[in-house]
């Protein structure tokens, strides 16, 4: 039942019209935004950490995924706090994002304000010795003032940018699911337009047209 998330931070509790006890939460592993149903009699507060597995004392079930636009203004403020908290709590994981970078496989340019050239400088410093903390990155890399803030901005971008609703978008930290786009149907012969040179040539190659462009029955 966990949608690839074992734990989540509460953004807000909601009483539905049919009197169900629900909440909006963000997963601590991949920042998945979820709408959950709470067990009877359970009350939660913003920033409470709750278990999402079948062993949870708070969660009855996960209803569905939500987007940033589904959050209230107060929940959006709580999300900002939650993102920072998640990153700082699991600092080693996000510092290792910098340590995993190499010259031939680099993702640093996806961070705000980091060019490929700047990314190469960061990799050069990391090659001397792995980074140990955000503070270590900030001290050793002159072009970075706040490495934790760079991670925060990227997570926030992946959660909120409207243009991200795109199968080709690169997601470094956020778990996003999109419906498979339907393939465009190839026009049937009956939809054929004689003026369309592309389809004329295609049908000629398949032996379905005479050279004049007249359809072969």
Q: Would residue 118 count as lying in a domain? A: yes
pLDDT band for position 67 (cuts 50, 70, 90): very high
The sign of the torsion formed by the CA atoms of 109, 114, 118, 124 equals: negative
What tokens does 208 get? Answer: 């379905």
The residues, any chain, with a CB within 8 Å of residue 114's CB and separated by 6 or more, are: 108, 122, 143, 150
Whether the Cβ atoms of residue 216 and residue 210 lie closer than 8 Å to each other = yes
Looking at the structure, tell me whether residues 52 and 88 fall in a common domain. Answer: no
Go through the chain and tell me how many residues it has. 217
Q: Are 14 and 46 in a shared domain?
A: yes
Q: Which residues of 90-120 are buried (b: 16+ CB within 10 A; e: fewer)?
A: ebeebbebbeebeeeebebebbeebeeebbe
Give the residue numbers spanning the domain of 137. Answer: 83-164
- Say if 141 falls within a structural domain: yes
CATH of the domain at 64: 2.40.50.140
Which helix H or strand E contains 199, and what residues bound it? Answer: helix 197-205
How high is the pLDDT of residue 185? 45
Residue showing tokens 């708070």: 58
For 19-43, what is each residue's pLDDT tens digit? Answer: 889 999 999 999 999 999 999 999 9
Q: How many domains does the chain have?
A: 2
- Is 171 inside a domain boundary? no
Alpha helices in 31-178 (DSSP H): 73-89, 91-99, 116-128, 134-140, 147-160
pLDDT over 70 at 197, yes or no? no
Name the DSSP letter for residue 55. T
From the CA atom positions of the chain, what is the Rg in Å? 25
User: pTM for this structure?
Assistant: 0.78
Q: Are residues 91 and 51 in the same domain?
A: no
Domain edge (last residue) among 134, 164, 194: 164
Share in percent of the chain as helix, strand, coil (round to 5)? 35, 15, 45
Residue 215 located in a structural domain: no
Q: Model confidence over 49-66: pLDDT tens digits?
A: 999 999 999 999 999 999
Q: Is residue 19 part of a domain?
A: yes
How confident is the model over 90-132, as pLDDT tens digits?
A: 999 999 999 999 998 899 999 999 999 999 999 999 999 999 9
Is 195 contained in some domain? no
CA 25/CA 27 separation, integer angstroms: 7
**Stretch (H or E) spanning 11:** strand 7-15
Q: Are residues 95 and 65 in the same domain?
A: no
Classified as helix, coil or strand, 124 is helix
Domain shared by 66 and 92, yes or no: no
Statement to judge: residues 64 and 88 lie in one domain: no
Residues 110 and 56 in one domain: no
With bands split at pLDDT 50, 70 and 90, how would you rate the model's confidence at 166? low
Residue at a domain's end among 47, 71, 95: 71
Same domain? 52 vs 89:
no
| Structural domain includes residue 2 | no
């Amino acid at each position: 039942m966990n949608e690839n998330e074992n734990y989540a931070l509460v953004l807000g509790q909601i009483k539905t019209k049919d009197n169900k006890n629900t909440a909006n939460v963000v997963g601590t592993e991949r920042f998945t935004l979820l709408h959950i149903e709470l067990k009877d009699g359970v009350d939660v507060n913003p920033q409470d950490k709750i278990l999402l597995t079948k062993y949870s004392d708070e969660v009855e079930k996960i209803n569905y995924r939500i987007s940033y636009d589904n959050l209230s203004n107060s929940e959006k403020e709580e999300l900002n706090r939650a993102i920072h908290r998640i990153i700082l709590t699991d600092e080693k994981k996000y510092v290792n994002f910098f340590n995993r970078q190499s010259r031939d496989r680099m993702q640093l340019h996806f961070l705000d304000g980091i060019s490929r050239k700047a990314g190469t400088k960061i990799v050069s410093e990391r090659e001397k010795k792995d980074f140990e903390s955000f503070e270590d990155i900030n001290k050793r890399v002159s072009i970075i003032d706040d490495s934790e803030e760079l991670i925060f901005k990227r997570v926030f971008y992946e959660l909120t940018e409207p243009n991200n609703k795109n199968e080709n978008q690169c997601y470094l930290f956020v778990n996003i699911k999109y419906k498979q786009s339907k393939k465009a149907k190839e026009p049937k012969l009956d939809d054929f337009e004689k003026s369309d040179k592309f389809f004329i040539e295609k049908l000629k190659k398949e032996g379905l047209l005479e050279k004049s462009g007249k359809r072969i029955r």
